[in-house]
Structure 1
Amino acid sequence: MNSIQHEKPTSALGTLFKPQISSVMANMARDNAFRLDAGNYSPQAISTQQLLQRGKHKNKKLSDIGDVFGFGPFKRTYISDPEFGIPLLTSAEIMGINPHPKIMAKADLPKWSQYQVKKGWIAVSCSGTIGNVAIIPGKWDSWGMSQDAIRIVPEKPYQGLIYTFLRLPFIKHQIVGSKSGSVIDHIYADDLKRLDVPFPAQGVIDKLDCLISRVLHLREESDNFLSEANSFVTEFNGLAQFHKEDEKWFDTNKEVESVIVNSKDIILNNDSGSEYRLDAHFYNPMAQLAIENIKKAKTEVKTIEDVTERVFLVPRFKRNYVDEKYGHPFLSGKNIIQTRPTNLKYLSKSETKNLELYYLEKKWTLITCSGTIGRTCFVWENYENYTATQHILRVVADDAQIDPGYLYAFLSSQYGKLQVLRYSHGSVIDEITGKQIGKVFIPLLSKEGQKQIGDLVRSAYEKRAEAIRLEDEAQEILMKALT
């Protein structure tokens, strides 16, 4: 049978690198929409195809066991009132733990309902960063999703099989290999429809479906626990719920968002450890209202500085990234809000001086402090002994003063976030410092109340860890069945 073969370069460039050469059968090109770009026939892609073809199991096309579809770009208008729109997830947000997507107006998009997703559907990022796979939880049911994610509606009982199969590293490599685009990488629904999915024994299929259903349930429980902890922070401290409509502006029509500040307030803010802040953002009405309500709380009020051992950043350091087997996991600010880190980098163990100084420890709260500010994460059954970028603040609770889980719950609540964000500064890239975080006000519950909230946080993170473990178990079961 005819074959397509990469020729070995004869130019001087051939001495600078070792080219990857592979022979491709003509029928493989035919089955791959006659694609002739080399990336589609990388050695890894070919070995994947060979593994699936020589397996003892029957293969089916993905399109035979699920409805696979996507959309082209569509015009949308974003609004602030959710009553007149639906949340629209981006391809990055589908990997997030608790995304807060923009609201897409229904009025300007007559067919808006076709962009809605349902619980149990599978989403695959298809533009920019390709191949990330997520399963839609109940909270996102009837939310919208942008054209940058392909939808898969699995037939029963193939949800677990499809989700686990698409997450296998060598299958992701195959998906990425089918990308196209001169500037921004893309894949299309047809690229996924052509994937060969091996069919293990029915018992394995049922086991995968059970495991992935459990994964989805655990993540939903985790989200519910954190929402409950957030509610308890305001309820137990007697803090009022407040909304955007409660803002108090000098111009009541809000044609110009302006506030009046007494010079005495500027001086008092400096006395409390801040700077002489003259930027209007520092005095925004929502943050002022949060502080006002906290000072009226029925519990004792302290600052983060009072209840922590330290709030600190690690210094900038030289980074040498290496393959996983030679390195130590390194978290970016984006990674700490994902269900599990994607595109994780690894620091060289041999080339990074004093690597142990950058390790994260259990019970710490992490806060992003550069660029996108205020993202939070609790180190519990997840990132112990990982390293992380200097753009993440480490908040170390004083256990004698405060429950670390309660500290995290407050800083991730609306009352905590509004105070953190008001300290942002920078002409191009927003920044906050550890010293500024130390000046955030926090109401202190009784030890019992703190523990109740802290236990919810810890249970939520333990459920997330169990979900990741079950995903890994599902991959092991599928790989064992295939090999």
Structure 2
Amino acid sequence: MKTTNLENPVRLEWLLQQNLRLDARPYVGGAFDARDLLKLLTVPTDTLASLTTGHAGGLYNGPIFRRIFVNDRQHGVPFLGSADMLESDLSHLPLLRREDAESAKLAFLRVSPGTTFISCSGTVGRVVYARPDMVGSWSSQDTIKVVADPERIRPGYLFTVLASRFGTAILINSRSGTGIRHLEPAQVADLPIPRFGGDVEGRIHDLVEEAAVLRAAYQRKLVAATEDLFTSAGLPELIDLDWHARPRDLGFSVNAADAVTLRALNHSPRARWVADRIRSVPHRTLSDICSNGEISSGSRFTRVPAQPGHGSLLVGQRQGFWMRPEGRWISTRDSPDDVNAADETVLIARRGTLGESEVYCRSILVTGSWLQFAYTEDFLRVASGDSDVPGAYLFALFRSGAAFRLLRSLSSGGKQQDIHDVLRGDIPVPVCTPIDRERIAETVRSAHRDRDLADRREDEAFAALDAAVEGATR
């Protein structure tokens, strides 16, 4: 149970500011502590609403509207929901129908450079800065858009304040609602933004901008690595697989059905076409490549909680695809040895349903700073046992749309799907020349180095803000 801080107890003026709201969250969640700390600063503060510009004053979410999604990029625009904005790889964003997006009702939801997003429905208070590769997408009504006025404040600095421990405490505890939490622009309009002058704010902005550019470079390099793999393998038709344009899997027959599987999905003609195209070029099976490595799920285990900084952060399927994963800390001493993953292990989300927006059968690569995390048994771990076919090369394949569809065709189970434990070993992997493989793998490694550097630059921005606040406190 969380109780009030006796050194800073709940005051009558707090109750009056909340219109005598009597649930405990606003008073013990840290929001008033954060506001009181900001009042102690020797530097001036401005309200958030006074620093924004644009549609509705630059602080808005959007109307509730019917979302109609399409499969053809010519007729759709990338759509960022409150969860999509957290993802590190934006290759698989849903496409909102262009006709609706560009209408007068929704045109203002187009993402512009320097925008800060705040999740405002359900899980409230997550803050994300618009990367260059987000610009031109459309954002959902489940996020508050904060568009900084460049004449008054640098957008990277404004993001840092909102995403800091001070800003998030105020944002989270300003929410309302019971079953589904909500946050409205009017509830954050008076959030205090401390002003430290051009040098401090400019440095923080530059760090955030550098992080955003690095995250966009991460995305660009991954896409380039996958395209390089298919081009080098002689499979350019798999680069942009137009899955839904191919004939549907209706009325087909299979002559080689055996006891391994009788499920129609496992014999999908569209998926067989992908596999046959890969088998038409030099290739090896996944089980062959991983014979001295690993193709398995992690062990089931009891999660023993630990304090942050002690043990490991446990990353699940959904959080594994985010820029900065969230999760709970667990004791590694009380967890199995395989709770961590070896360098360049490909993790494939192995549980879920067949919805187009589900992460089921999507892949991530464990390397760099992500080696410190623990991972749930809901990931299929694919570790190469052959140094000539590194994990980074495998990831360039498994992140592709072609591999995603091939993995989906290997589903087994009822409501919750899993990847068939026999069929997965037969997945064909195109084998390019040694020079090509090393070049592709190095592109993937470079992308992940950019991601790690982006995290460090963002952390430096938060540290600079904390130092400025501490230095200006009376």
TM over 0.5: yes
Q: How many residues align?
A: 447
Of 215, 231, 239, the residue aligned with 1:219 is 215
Aligned to 2:26: 40
SS at match of 2:78: strand
Per the TM alignment, residue 325 of structure 1 is displaced from its structure 2 partner at its CA by 3.6
Pair 1:276 & 2:261 matched: yes
Per the TM alignment, residue 353 of structure 1 is displaced from its structure 2 partner at its CA by 4.4
Kept in 2: contact 1:259–1:280 (CA 8 A): no
Tell which deviates more after alignment, 21-30 or 213-222: 21-30
Tell which deviates more after alignment, 22-31 or 447-456: 22-31
**Residues 210-264 of structure 1: CA distance to partner in whole angstroms, max 9, x if unpaired?**
1111111111111111110010111000014242365245xxxxxxx50412323
Aligned to 1:14: none
Per the TM alignment, residue 331 of structure 1 is displaced from its structure 2 partner at its CA by 0.7
In 2: Cα distance, 1:400 partner to 1:425 partner: 31
Of 250, 266, 271, the residue aligned with 1:258 is 250
Per the TM alignment, residue 174 of structure 1 is displaced from its structure 2 partner at its CA by 2.2
Aligned to 1:321: 305
Pair 1:400 & 2:392 matched: no
Tell which deviates more after alignment, 423-432 or 25-34: 25-34
Aligned to 1:305: 287
Aligned to 2:344: 363
Give the AA of the match of 2:148: P
Tell which deviates more after alignment, 450-459 or 364-373: 364-373
**Residues 137-176 of structure 1: CA distance to partner in whole angstroms, max 9, x if unpaired?**
2322222111110001012242121111122134312211
Give the AA of the match of 1:364: T
Aligned to 2:231: 235
Closer, same or farther in 2 for the Cα pair 1:19/1:380, shift >3 Å? closer
Give the AA of the match of 2:138: G
**Residues 330-360 of structure 1: CA distance to partner in whole angstroms, max 9, x if unpaired?**
1101122111113x2111345x244x33122
Closer, same or farther in 2 for the Cα pair 1:68/1:32, shift >3 Å? farther
Tell which deviates more after alignment, 184-193 or 392-401: 392-401
Aligned to 1:93: 84
Aligned to 1:102: 94
Alignment of 1:201-216 (within 5 A): 201-216=197-212
SS at match of 1:394: strand
Per the TM alignment, residue 199 of structure 1 is displaced from its structure 2 partner at its CA by 1.0
Q: Percent sequence identity over matched residues?
A: 23
In 1: Cα distance, 2:62 partner to 2:21 partner: 22
Aligned to 1:252: none
In 1: Cα distance, 2:119 partner to 2:3 partner: 30
SS at match of 2:45: strand
Give the AA of the match of 1:150: I
Give the AA of the match of 1:60: D
Pair 1:346 & 2:329 matched: yes
Kept in 1: contact 2:344–2:390 (CA 8 A): no
Per the TM alignment, residue 404 of structure 1 is displaced from its structure 2 partner at its CA by 1.8
Of 99, 109, 115, the residue aligned with 1:115 is 109
**Residues 280-324 of structure 1: CA distance to partner in whole angstroms, max 9, x if unpaired?**
322223312211211222xx2111111111211122111123331
Per the TM alignment, residue 65 of structure 1 is displaced from its structure 2 partner at its CA by 1.4
Tell which deviates more after alignment, 439-448 or 467-476: 439-448
Per the TM alignment, residue 416 of structure 1 is displaced from its structure 2 partner at its CA by 1.8
SS at match of 1:205: helix
Pair 1:455 & 2:442 matched: yes
In 1: Cα distance, 2:143 partner to 2:360 partner: 26
Per the TM alignment, residue 63 of structure 1 is displaced from its structure 2 partner at its CA by 1.2
